[in-house]
Structure 1
Amino acid sequence: MNKSTSLYLSALCKMHWQSPRQFDYPSAVSGAWLQEMGSLSQRLAQSCHQLKVKVINNQPVAFNDFMPIERQGLPCETFWVRDVMLYGDDQPWVVARTLMPLSVIDEAPCDLSQLGEKPLGLTVFDSPQARRDQLEVAYCPDPHRTLLARRSRLWMHEHAMLVSEIFLPESPIYK
């Protein structure tokens, strides 16, 4: 993992998360991207010729090892942590962190801990019971420019996982 990716992932625990209704969006386009309630992976794939996933981290982590802000709204159990970088046409677009309770992995139709380079959203939203709630948005300070971020609970088979995403400078959210 390179230094900037590590900084982005650690910034997810330090952001001032806000309700989408209270957030001051820089544009209508960014507002639409941040408030997407379906699969972000699918929306990104529609904006490029090739969407790729690079896995940065994929391992189990004890609930007590998370920052308090990450624990909110999640059950007290061991989680599978999946950190990835999403690339659109070889440009880094999104850094994402997903915290999946092991109970989600046990009941999912496929092993979510072994997705490899397949986008999580494409798998989760194949389930008719998938839904997103508790959407929050934030600005992520960057040395070169301010970036946008969001986090939400993603539900699959009545189990919640926390998904957090930072939109990098080349992402279509800024077009």
Structure 2
Amino acid sequence: MSRALHSPWQWHVPRIDLSHTHWLTDSGSLTQKLKNHCQHFSVQRINQLSSPLSLSETIPMQLPRGRSVLQRQVLLICNGVPAVFAHTVTPIERVGRDWPFFNQLGNRALGVALFSNPLIRRDSFEYTRLCSQDDLYQMAQRALNGHGFDIALPSHLWARRCVFTHTRHANSRMMVTEVMLPSVYALQPTP
């Protein structure tokens, strides 16, 4: 197996098909956007466990590499087909105080909790183009394979990430990364 990479993250919106751009740039809840584009929406939790912070997450999270964080990975599914792979990290010791809802999510969407609280602020998006050697790409592929979805991913996937902070808690940080899977681009608004 080849060594995993970390594609560079950038602040500017990537040059992709204009009909796909809104999936990366929409400032609202991606969960709500997906619900508005399918008849049946569900969340499949892949895991929620302690893991070391990856190199590409150290600067936005303001934590040293290898620091233990609580990681949550889910598939956001529209009409029975995974549309987004989401990867969330936050310091373990901050969960109870800053994000008390986090451990009770199960197969519910994180976005609902984040966007319903006016005290939670989201920073600007960063974007990247993942190749098959990237950690996140490989996580997405393992999530699909491990949960019975036989989906051949293209050679590259677009992803976005942002950091959420709680305005009443100093140093609260939760980073949410969303990897767009091929089926998301075919979704149309539901009537």
- Return the alpha-carbon distance in structure 2 between the equivalents of residues 113 and 17 of structure 1: 28
1:138 aligns with 2:128: yes
Identity, % of aligned positions: 27
Q: 1:32 Cα deviation (Å)?
A: 2.0
TM-score normalised by structure 1 residue count: 0.78
Q: What is the correspondence of 1:1-175 to structure 2 with a 5 Å cutoff? A: 14-21=6-13, 23-27=14-18, 29-61=19-51, 65-76=52-63, 78-108=68-98, 110-141=100-131, 144-157=154-167, 158=169, 159-172=172-185
Range 142-151 or range 96-105, more displaced: 142-151
174 and 55 in structure 1: CA distance in 2 versus 1, 3 angstrom threshold? same
Cα distance, 1:93 vs structure 2: 0.4
Q: Does the aligned pair in 1 maintain the 2:53–2:69 contact within 8 Å?
A: no
How far apart are the structure 1 equivalents of 2:131 and 2:75? Answer: 18
The residue type equivalent to 1:163 in the other structure is: V
Stretches of structure 2 lacking an aligned partner (at least 5 in a row): 133-152
Deviation at 1:138, TM superposition (A): 1.6
Q: Which residue of 1 aligns with 2:143?
A: none
Q: Which runs of 5+ in 1 are unaligned?
A: 1-9
Deviation at 1:173, TM superposition (A): 6.7
- CA shift, 1:105, in A, is 2.1
Which protein has the larger Cα radius of gyration, Structure 1 or Structure 2? Answer: 2
Q: Which moved more, 1:96-105 or 1:161-170?
A: 96-105
Distance (whole Å) between structure 2 residues aligned to residue 69 and residue 145 of structure 1: 20
Counterpart code for 2:180? F
The alignment partner of 1:171 has SS state of helix
Q: How many angstroms does 1:38 deviate by?
A: 2.5
Aligned length: 160
